[in-house]
């Protein structure tokens, strides 16, 4: 996926985790182009929106992203190919919040059906990465 061909980034975060988390570390990872954002060119500006999955089982992701896709097309003529969805690490990764979302495959299927490009992970903490390598996390 060529990140130079994207204009709009949609980060999908876990609604349960977001009851406490302000999402700062996701934003920081993007700002610094680290973790799941390492492949985004630093000198390119992106529009960005953060949405929650809407709660288990994540089905609201389909409605939210479908509406977003249609609205962006209508208001700005932006094709869906210019949009990239980024699953936050609290959805996609095993970390101190817990294992990945139990509905991860379902959410990925929903996004695939809308025809939007998908990437996984946002912030990747050094400690969690070390625990993954040690086999403590999957
Ligand atoms: S990945 Fe971390 S910072 Fe981002 S929304 Fe989830 S818990 Fe918050
Ligand atoms: S569906 Fe997954 S990402 Fe959404 S609230 Fe439930 S556990 Fe979190």
Task: Report CA(126)–ligand 2 centroid distance (Å).
Answer: 23
pLDDT at 67: 98
Q: What is the pTM of this model?
A: 0.94
pLDDT at 135: 77
pLDDT at 56: 98
Asked if 10 contacts 86 with a C-beta cutoff of 8 angstroms, the reply is yes
pLDDT at 36: 96
Ligand 2, CB cutoff 6 Å, lining residues: 14-16, 53, 55-58, 91, 101, 103
pLDDT at 138: 67
Q: Residue 10: CB within 6 Å of ligand 1?
A: no
Domains and CATH numbers, the chain: 3-133 (3.40.50)
Regions of the chain with pLDDT less than 50: none
């Amino acid at each position: 996926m060529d990140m130079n061909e994207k204009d709009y980034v949609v980060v999908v975060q876990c609604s349960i985790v977001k009851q406490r988390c302000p999402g700062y570390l996701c934003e920081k990872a993007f700002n610094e182009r680290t973790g799941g954002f390492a492949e985004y060119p630093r000198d390119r500006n992106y529009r960005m929106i953060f949405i929650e999955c809407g709660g288990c089982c994540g089905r609201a992701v389909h409605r939210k992203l479908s509406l977003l896709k249609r609205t962006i097309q209508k208001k700005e003529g932006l094709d869906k190919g210019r949009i990239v969805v980024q699953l936050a690490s609290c959805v996609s990764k095993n970390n101190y919040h817990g294992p990945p979302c139990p509905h991860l495959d379902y959410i990925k299927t929903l996004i695939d059906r809308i025809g939007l490009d998908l990437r996984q992970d946002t912030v990747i903490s050094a400690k969690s990465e070390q625990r993954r390598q040690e086999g403590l996390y999957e």
